[in-house]
Structure 1
Amino acid sequence: MTRHVSTRRAATAAGTAIVAAALIGAGLTTASAAPTAEKTPGASPTKLSASQRAELLRDADAEKARTAKELGLSSAEKLVVRDVVKDRDGSVHTRYERTYDGLPVLGGDLVVHETKSRRTEGVTKAHAGDLKVDTARAKAAPKGARAVVWAASGTPRLAYEKVVKSTKKDGTPSRLHVVTDARSGKKIFQWDDIRTGAGHTQYSGDVELGTKQESSGFSLTDTGRGDHKTYDLGGGTSGQGTLVAGDDDEWGDGTPANKETAAADAHYGAALTWDYYKNVHGRDGIKGDGVGAYSRVHYGNNYVNAFWDDSCFCMTYGDGEGNAKPLTSIDVAAHEMTHGVTSHTAGLIYSGESGGLNEATSDIFGSAVEFSANNKEDVGDYLIGEKIDIRGDGTPLRYMDKPSKDGKSKDSWYRGIGQIDVHYSSGVANHFFYLLSEGSGAKEINGVKYDSPTADGKPVTGIGRDKAEKIWFKALTTYMTSNTDYAKARTATLDAAKDLYGADSAEYKGVDAAWAGVNVKAAKGKNKH
């Protein structure tokens, strides 16, 4: 399945450039879309072994200088290979970071799209314009900061990025990236790269877990899923914790009083998420390299949250109010693990509209994994965190059919939505995904009643959740970049639908209608279809 890069690629086709993780902040489907044959199933991602993926990355790395030249980048610009996706038809989509005069370019990421014959047929860029930046002041970076080129918004310029580490009031760690203009010293942007989310398990009943037999006893080490491990922090808030182990291969008793129970839930959720991405989307682990992350349970005391942390490549879960409701349900575990997938694909900046899309992606696939699990104790639904009872009244944390039901999330896009908390601006994409999957109006799915409105009052017919998931995943991994906003997400999903089902398909039209249902319209000029 692998292939070597030819010594010379075809020149990039002119005009094809496409300009483009905390849980908590401050399968049955009733869709009845007309059956449509997949016109281009070859556009779906193929499963790559670790060695196949590594070879594609090595090939891209060997050709990165030539690629930069073909893209018309200046001599000061260099490409750094980050990720690769190969479709069933042989097309390859390679994601790069960019440097300028040796400095990292924030917002300089791009994806090169190639045919099976290695003809470059398009490129998706976070920043479409030229980079011309005076880097003379680069060595004057303040202590503890690094010089970067800021290209994620406005005119590219020399800037300083500083990471400020702290702990929030609820005990969640914070690693705040603050970007300031090198000339004026004024703050340009900031985001936090801690993504919070919200055996005999508490939420999923009796399940099978991937474990490892040690010299004495067993450990929660899933040898079939990249050696994913689950650790117990024992109420601590730092370090890796202690690997959960025991004399026998029995874990927990279904109650929070038994400390192994939360570990069993977290371990099970990680396994389900791994299987979902591998079996549905052909992605072998968070990075696509077959290497497992790890989970940490029993974080802090009465800690009512869960989060993903890139620096440890791990998911962390608190035990909830009274240490009685660990945040380890299937959808929460999948939510956190998905933050890792987003970080290693589109890299959506965790602030503004891109931050809302980052959060929504975790909710979307959190729900998808829950449906895919087909667990009778935690059936699939479009509710987020319904099992953990975070409000103490039996209501879920978020609703995808009508996000505003939680009192804070937004159903539709409006100018300025990027200024609110990403957990609430995510409602727009969550609502889009529900409409695309199931359509508008009243219906009941797996015993849960929904009634989804639309911004324009027009009905939307769903295309089915399975197709909606594939469209969002392809858009995330192939067309979204670090600064994708809602208008560009519309473009990305339409491009994905066109690739998978054709431009005249019901699926493509369904994507268009679902975005109209949440008031996201074509951007002027470059984002129109």
Structure 2
Amino acid sequence: MQNRLLSVAIVAALAVPASALAAQPINSQAAGRALGLIDAHAAVLHRADADGFVARTVVVGKDGTEHARFDRTFRGLPVIGGDVVVHSRNGQFKGASQTLKTSMRPGVTGRLGKAQAITEAGAAFGLGFEGTPSARKVIYARGASPVLAWEVTMRGIRADQTPTEMHFFVDAGNGRVLDRYDAIHTANRVTRKGKPGGGGTTCNTSASGTGKSLFSGNVGINTAKCSDGTYQMKDLTRGGGYTTDLKNRTSGSGTTFADADNSWGSNTTADRATVGADAHYGVAETWDYYKNVHGRNGIANDGKGALSRVHYGRNYVNAFWSDSCFCMTFGDGGGSYYPLVNIDVAGHEMSHGVTSRSANLTYSGESGGLNESTSDIFGTMVEYYSNNANDTPDYMIGEEIYVNNPSGTAALRYMFKPSLDGASPDCYSPNVGSMDVHYSSGIGNHFFYLLAEGATTPAGFNVTPAQLVCNGNTSAGGIGRAAAEKIWYLALTGYMTSNTNYAGARTATLNAARDLYGTGSAQYNGVASAWSAVGVN
């Protein structure tokens, strides 16, 4: 199951032993201070008497503001949508980010048993499931009022080979499915374990190899030299992240790429190591982007690398992130598509991991659109950060994967005008939450483009500046990428919660802009005008 409670449960201010904190990127003193503020401001946080709080992360802004993120429980049951970020400075409470609006809680008995809940979820799942479904009691608080529910998790494989880990929330009173989301986060809309290393050989010496990639040309990649003189595609400089060949299977960890001369691939798909080099390079560039631009040390901010699996399935035109294996997986494409291992796709998938370890935006409704948008935004910013001559940075997602794209204008998504894909909206409307998250993400993508670049038309597209905005304001945004990416990152890690919608994202980014640049600054005003230009007011 998706790990949600990966941090330390703080039961009293400053009462957590240092050994319990060692594995987590969390400031225990700041978390303890925030817990004390929760006690002192119980009404503001809609705290019930039996509520408990589990500290997950702490972000400290450049102005000293502490943003302590907590998951909420009630009588030991997780409160889905009850998470909160407590904001304080110099020990003083400054506010909280949350979507829970009441201290009312349901009873914890319910009429529906575990077996019945699994049956109801199974009917909604509609696939043959793998393994044994699991279920746990939760308080479902993403709706108008908290409800006792069963969270049922079912795993399977879709018809297009995409794995699925569906989470269903079944009302424990009447058996109705309240909500659902997939913990597998894909690069594109879904159409409806081996071990690394081997033997007694050790591979623990960092080395520099050459990746002859498919999309990025010949690039330097970090590898590991083994005691027998061979090399593995493992990056010891970035937390030990490694890249494996799944050999067209749909399960397992795969076999770590190994090589005798530390030169990987041939710039063509004829060599299986070529796309391994692309993925390995893209993940390294993403790691460096987060570290050098945002000060983040890996996906979970704990310095640990992740697994990247290539050659997944057969003719699989997609890529995905999975929390359960803490891994990114890339398909080989097929027909009109190359393997999905270009830089912005690698950045997109790794950013799903960053989101899961920060705001943890639920992958349904408007929060799901924001989750996808975050991956598109940071995947694009990684592409600009890398600035690879073989993959010119742009605001299109996945344009490199098309075999026949002479004009360079075919893409999975277009951030500057999302509707060019034929399905995504340019402008906000109340029904965007009912769309597939890869389409509802268009609102966030469009906002970010306008925030960074303003209403400017990219080369090769016949759209006017007036057609790039929803309210006629062609002067909206335009604050530059450097400021825009910092605002979105702080909003994600310091202000958004699992149930944040687009209105909440406007508030979160305005708060981040205020913290970074000041209220009334050009950056703050640019955030406000860019949101209004996509209909979020």
TM-score w.r.t. structure 2 length?
Answer: 0.84
Displacement of 1:112:
1.2
Partner residue, 2:212: 200
Cα distance between partner residues in 2 of 1:220 and 1:242: 10
Q: Write the mapping of 1:52-201 to structure 2, written as runs, cut at 5 A.
A: 54=24, 56-59=26-29, 66-72=36-42, 73-115=47-89, 117-137=90-110, 140-142=113-115, 144-198=134-188, 199-201=211-213
Are the equivalent residues in 1 in contact too, given 2:21–2:28 (CA < 8 A)? Answer: no
| Distance of aligned partners of 1:77 and 1:298 in 2 relative to their CA distance in 1, 3 Å threshold | same
Displacement of 1:128:
3.2
Cα distance between partner residues in 1 of 2:98 and 2:404: 41
Displacement of 1:365:
0.5
Partner residue, 2:280: 267
Cα distance between partner residues in 2 of 1:98 and 1:390: 48
Partner residue, 2:240: 227
Q: Write the mapping of 1:279-428 to structure 2, written as runs, cut at 5 A.
A: 279-322=292-335, 325-389=338-402, 395-428=410-443
Partner residue, 2:207: none
The alignment partner of 1:286 has SS state of coil
Cα distance between partner residues in 2 of 1:270 and 1:227: 12
Identity within the alignment, %: 48
Which AA in structure 2 matches 1:80?
Answer: V
Which AA in structure 2 matches 1:69?
Answer: D
Cα distance between partner residues in 2 of 1:451 and 1:249: 49
Cα distance between partner residues in 2 of 1:346 and 1:481: 5
Q: How many residues align?
A: 473
1:47-67 Cα offsets, whole Å, 9 max, x none, are xxx989947444456667645
The alignment partner of 1:321 has SS state of coil
Displacement of 1:245:
1.1
> Are 1:512 and 2:528 matched, yes or no?
yes
Partner residue, 1:483: 499
| Distance of aligned partners of 1:427 and 1:55 in 2 relative to their CA distance in 1, 3 Å threshold | closer
Partner residue, 1:28: none
The alignment partner of 1:208 has SS state of strand
The alignment partner of 1:387 has SS state of helix
Q: Write the mapping of 1:222-261 to structure 2, written as runs, cut at 5 A.
A: 222-261=235-274
The alignment partner of 1:235 has SS state of coil
TM-score w.r.t. structure 1 length?
Answer: 0.85
1:401-455 Cα offsets, whole Å, 9 max, x none, are 11111111111111211111111111111111111111114354xx888755111
Are the equivalent residues in 2 in contact too, given 1:367–1:382 (CA < 8 A)? Answer: yes
Cα distance between partner residues in 2 of 1:411 and 1:282: 32
Cα distance between partner residues in 2 of 1:89 and 1:138: 50
1:141-164 Cα offsets, whole Å, 9 max, x none, are 336321100111210111111012
Farther-moved stretch of structure 1 (163-172 vs 365-374) = 163-172
Are the equivalent residues in 1 in contact too, given 2:336–2:402 (CA < 8 A)? Answer: no
| Distance of aligned partners of 1:211 and 1:372 in 2 relative to their CA distance in 1, 3 Å threshold | same
The alignment partner of 1:442 has SS state of coil
User: RMSD value over aligned CA atoms?
Assistant: 2.4
| Distance of aligned partners of 1:390 and 1:410 in 2 relative to their CA distance in 1, 3 Å threshold | farther
1:200-230 Cα offsets, whole Å, 9 max, x none, are 1000011110111112211111111111111
Partner residue, 1:442: 457
Farther-moved stretch of structure 1 (56-65 vs 484-493) = 56-65
1:28-59 Cα offsets, whole Å, 9 max, x none, are xxxxxxxxxxxxxxxxxxxxxx9899474444
Which runs of 5 or more structure 1 residues have no equivalent in the other structure? 10-49, 522-529
| Distance of aligned partners of 1:51 and 1:150 in 2 relative to their CA distance in 1, 3 Å threshold | closer
| Distance of aligned partners of 1:131 and 1:53 in 2 relative to their CA distance in 1, 3 Å threshold | farther
Partner residue, 1:211: 223
Displacement of 1:137:
2.8
Partner residue, 1:39: none
Displacement of 1:379:
1.7
| Distance of aligned partners of 1:161 and 1:315 in 2 relative to their CA distance in 1, 3 Å threshold | same
Which AA in structure 1 matches 2:342?
Answer: S
The alignment partner of 1:371 has SS state of helix
Displacement of 1:323:
9.7
Cα distance between partner residues in 2 of 1:61 and 1:166: 38
Displacement of 1:397:
1.2
Are the equivalent residues in 2 in contact too, given 1:255–1:261 (CA < 8 A)? Answer: yes
Please point out which of 455, 477, 486 is paired with 1:470.
Answer: 486
